[in-house]
Amino acid sequence: MKNTKNPELLAPAGDLASALTAFDCGADAVYAGLSCFNARERADNLSIDEMSKLLEYSRRNRKKVYITFNTLIKEAELEEAAGMIADLYRLRPDALIVQDLGILRLIRDYFPRIEIHASTQMGIHNSAGVKFAALSGVKRVILERQLTLEEIKAIAISSDLELEVFVHGALCCSLSGQCLFSSWIGGWSGNRGKCKQPCRRRFYASDRDAFYLSSGDLCSLEMIPEFRKIGIASLKIEGRLRKSDYVKNVVSAYRMALDAAPGEENAVFRKAGDILMNIPGRKFIMPLKNSSSFSGFIRHTESGAQGKLCGTAVSPDRNGFYALLSGRLHLGDRVRVQNADCEDEAVSILVTKMNLDGLPAKKALKGQECYIFSDKRVTKNSSIFRVGESWDAMKSRTDALPLSRTALDIFIAVNTDGFKISVTNPGTEKSWHKKINIENAMKHSLSQEALANEFKASRSETFESGKIETEISGSLFLPSSELKRIRREFWEWVDINIKPEEMKGSHSSMLRNFLDNYKKSGPLQTASPILTVHGTVNAPGTEKPIRSDYLHEINDKTDEIILPHFCPEAKLRELAGLIKNSYSRGIRKYRITSLYGICLLADYHDIKISSSFPLPVCNSLAAEELKSRGFDKTQAWIELEKDALERLISKSSLPLEIYRGGTPFILCTRAETAIEGSVRDAAGNRFTIKKDKFTGLCFIYPEEAFFIPAVNGASAEFYSSDDISVNEKLTSPFNFNRIFA
């Protein structure tokens, strides 16, 4: 039975000030990242000391902090990533949000007390995917953004795992974790937190041009009652690239709506909606209630630029530019100036000085012409978008926040003779005894839960409670006032008798355990690579390749089935039936392209399973996780460069396949596009937009075919060609010869 209480309100925190603002305005939790290994590396993000301060503040105020560790991790980065996780383990965050299967395995097996949330970048979009997450030790799934309310309801009914959904903010045009667009054109991967948002550009077709891939912003205010009814655990606001002014307004609006009294919902929702409408941003799309909602997902007639249009640059010079305003502007506002000659070029400016009629001014209004001082180049007739307002950086407040206290793990034993409390942190073998006569209970006996909850409270400036274990011998009665007194005496004893520097962190031993095991791991001995092909591909070699087909392509020549990378909840049963039919036809080889497929194939014990694009495997821990799930082979992630591929091969315990050539998609969406066929961007890059008649998904393909050289040590090679025309004279090695950033 799902809990129908108010869901958690989860806010973005691109910096410490935004986190405090979110808590001040009613957020129950925030999500934030460090300087690397998070999907918003362009945000300010937090230092390890700032994260320590935030976690200490949140615990003292009964809030929560989830740390984003949601990028793909290359083999060469595993040891650094493990070291960072060990540091975070010491700080005791409420959860880590992860995308990479290898990082999931690392946390679960070596740092088991860290709660794991599956990032939306994992692409979990149906109940079979949620089931996989539950079996893998995940406590919460952040669902794919492109799901309808109907689909979310169906998933919630089928699972007891906590579910989190995005309710507000910018949307990716692509299905989560499956966009290679930014990576393809320049090596800036969205799966590594470096997306350049090429989908927001203007694209040119033969007879028209538009923003064919730019989605509107999400606003799900009206769906709060439905989310509450189906038991969604957390409502997530997007926006770690935004500042405190945005966080303040959005969190305040959603807090207001969540707390609306019965009978007053309509009036409160209107008031909250007015707040949201005045925030600089793109126009809102309708909430995704059902499949027809995807027709309005992309706003192809509107600029992909974020913010409210507030003027035009009419006369730039070397010190700044004159701006004719169509909306008000204040000192401290942040503006984005879109180049009039090239919409792909823009500069961001913080308005720190401006003149009105030649005199310094704090604000300028609609219809006025002001001069904005800036050292950045602005072209005449460029559009000016206000993307943020002045905000309080809270420097004095953030500077004064204390660092996280040292966590003390304790074991509390209680019997009729009193208390014995042992400190259980590694290297700290000290105990405190309190002799007291405790009577047997007549009615209200002391519970283990009440005992643990009481000792969680610590007034110590140095220590706070960590893991608390309890043992009560018999049915005992102890007045609450006496229990509080004993708890205070214990923590006073701790401050006098235990020093933080004496304690050996368990995180250090966990890290050493991982590093020792990692150094022992090594590669497989391989023979000549096995060749697999899909589609019409002229693959090299003289031996007959394995023929791989999708379920709708199955024929007498099919050796292997490729499962679809996206299967809506309503189609799961049908897909399971098609798999059963293929098995009855003698098929014993299957390719899994999304995590949900693992559960669909779980009951077939005499089959061979491979992973395949777009299921990412970037490191040997991810390969090891798939091996433990019965995989016989795994395909290296297509974005990896040569060095990363070679390092992965050198450590993988599972036979490794290299995707060597074909026509992989670089973006996939459920949204309806206004055009199909060939388009180009302002830089002359050409792409094909095509809707697939079998899945209903829309795919974006580059003009060039993909091809890379053979990689030494690979166990298998894969070639695939979708039914798409490409310029056969053009090939691209993708990131093979450059760094996958």
pLDDT at 537: 66
CA torsion, ordered 75, 80, 82, 85, to nearest 10 deg? -130
Residue 466 · residue 424 · CB < 8 Å: no
pLDDT tens digits for range 403-455: 999 889 999 999 999 999 999 887 778 999 999 999 999 888 999 999 999 99
pLDDT number for residue 528: 73
C-beta of residue 322 within 8 angstroms of C-beta of residue 312: no
Q: Which H helix or E strand runs over 85?
A: helix 78-91
* Cross-strand partners of 116: 96
Cα-based torsion angle of the residue sequence 147, 151, 154, 160 in order, rounded to the nearest 10 degrees? 0
The SS3 call for residue 383 is strand
Structure tokens at 161: 């795992």
State the pLDDT at residue 501.
73
- The CA-CA-CA angle for residues 143, 137, 15, to 5°, reads 55
Q: What is the pLDDT of residue 428?
A: 76
**Could you read off the pLDDT of 595-643 as tens digits, one per residue?**
999 999 999 999 999 999 999 999 999 999 999 999 999 999 999 999 9
Q: Which fold has domain 8-171+216-280?
A: TIM Barrel (3.20.20)
Partners of 210 in the β-ladder: 203
Closest listed residue to residue 698, CA positions, set 208, 333, 179, 276: 179
Burial label for 650, CB within 10 Å (0-12, 13-18, 19+), is middle
Q: Are 677 and 611 in contact (CB under 8 A)?
A: no
pLDDT tops 80 at residue 345: no
Residues 375, 318: Cα–Cα separation, whole Å: 7
pLDDT at 542: 57
- In this structure, the strands spanning 284-285 and 320-325 are unpaired
End-to-end CA distance of the chain: give it in Å, rounded. Answer: 44
CB atoms within 10 A of CB 312: 19
CA 204 to chain centroid:
32
Residues pairing with 322 in the sheet: 315, 371
Pairing of strands 203-204, 209-210: antiparallel
Distance CA 649, CA 645 (A): 6
Q: What is the model's pLDDT at position 1?
A: 42
* Residue 527: per-residue pLDDT: 63
Return the ∠ at Cα 143 (arms to 137 and 146), rounded to 5°. Answer: 155
Output the six-digit token pair for 269. 């929702």
User: Look-up: residue for tokens 């966990």?
Assistant: 510
Place of tokens 């730039």: 316
Q: Has residue 728 got a pLDDT over 70?
A: no
pLDDT 10s digits, 185-237: 999 999 999 999 999 999 999 889 999 999 999 999 999 999 999 999 999 99
Is residue 555's pLDDT more than 90? yes
Residue 300: phi and psi, rounded to 5, are -75, -15
More confident residue, 22 or 721: 22
Cross-strand pairs, 433 = 420
Cis peptide before 733 (omega within 30 of 0): no
Tokens 């606001």 found at: 237
Residue 273, classed as helix, strand or coil, is: helix
For residue 299, the model assigns a pLDDT of 87
Question: For residue 739, is pLDDT > 90?
Answer: no
Pair 191, 334: CB distance under 8 Å: no
Secondary element (H or E) of residue 674: none
pLDDT tens per residue across span 36-67: 888 777 777 899 999 999 999 999 999 999 99
- CA–CA gap between residue 34 and residue 429 (Å, rounded): 34
- In the 3-class helix/strand/coil scheme, how is 298-360 assigned residue by residue? ECCCCCCCCCEEEEEEEEEECCEEEEEECCCEECCCEEEEECCCCCCCEEEEECCCEEECCEE
Tell me the DSSP string of 589-634. Answer: EEEE-STHHHHHTTT--S-EEEE-TTS---SHHHHHHHHHTT-SBE
Question: What letter does residue 509 receive in the DSSP assignment?
Answer: H
Q: Where do runs of H (alpha helix) occur along 395-546? A: 395-400, 448-456, 480-497, 506-520
What six digits make up the tokens of 670? 């459920």
Residue keyed to tokens 């974790």: 177
Give residue 442's region: left, alpha or beta (phi > 0; psi -120 to 50).
Answer: alpha
Taking the CA atoms of 429, 434, 440 and 446 in sequence, report the sign of the dihedral they define: negative
3-state SS class at 726: coil
Residue spans of the domains in the chain: they are 8-171+216-280, 405-506, 521-732
pLDDT value at residue 668: 97
Check: CB of residue 7 under 8 Å from CB of residue 234: yes
